[in-house]
Amino acid sequence: MNTPTELLYTPSDEWVRDNGDGTFSIGITDYAQHELGEIVYVELPEVGQSVAADGTFGVVESVKAVGELHSPLSGQVVEVNAAPVQTPELVNQSPFENGWLIKVRPAETPDLSGLMNAQDYAAYRAS
């Protein structure tokens, strides 16, 4: 299981990257894509929509299962990755890079203290 150290993780298997420009990228983890299996459908919000911390912002689906996407923080969607919408298996192939899902700009500095670092997330999913 690949777990990049520069990211933070949710218990529901999303990751967050602080882009350093006031935006945060969000995707699903390697563990999540592997558990879900071949992803065949990705549904994401529109640019400009608001997402709420712990709220759902879309789905990734395999043939048989629906995985709801939970936002780790509140803010406005400033960019949506069209690539996995067009080519859902990109999320399986590259969950942390090409398969990122949305970028969110929070109104204020978000409280990310409830998220896990890579080491804790890896331990959480190994248990």
Partner 1 sequence: MLLFGSKSLGMSSLQRTSLFDLHRALGGKIVPFAGWEMPVQFAGVRAESLAVRGGCGLFDVGHMGQLDARGEGVTSALNAIVSSDWSSVRVGRAAYALLLNLSGGVHDDIMGYRLGEDHWLIVVNASRAASDEAWMRHLLPSSVSLRNRYENQAMIAVQGPRAEEILQPLCALDLSQMTLRDVVQTEVLGQQATVARGGYTGSDGFEWMGDAATAPLVWQVLLDGGATPCGLGARDVLRLEAGLPLYGHELGEGWTPDESGVSFAVKPAKGDFMGREALLARRAGSETKQTIRGLKMLGRAIPREGYAVLQGGTQIGAVTSGTLSPALDVGLALAMLPADLPVESVVDVAIRGALHPAQIVATPFVPRTTKTRASSS
Extract the tokens encoding 65. 């299962």
The strand pairing partners of 77, in sequence order, are: 104
Cα 66 to Cα 49: distance, rounded to the nearest angstrom: 22
Residue 20 Cβ vs partner 1, minimum distance, rounded to whole Å: 26
The DSSP secondary-structure symbol of 46 reads P
* Site membership for partner 1, residue 70 (CB under 8 A): yes
* Site membership for partner 1, residue 54 (CB under 8 A): no
Cβ proximity to partner 1, 35 vs 105, nearer residue: 35
Cβ proximity to partner 1, 89 vs 107, nearer residue: 89
Residue 12 Cβ vs partner 1, minimum distance, rounded to whole Å: 5
Among 1, 6, 43, 120, binds partner 1 (CB under 8 A): 43
| Side-chain half-sphere exposure of 121, counting CA atoms within 13 A | 26
* Site membership for partner 1, residue 30 (CB under 8 A): no
Of 65, 17, 25, 19, the C-alpha closest to 44 is 25
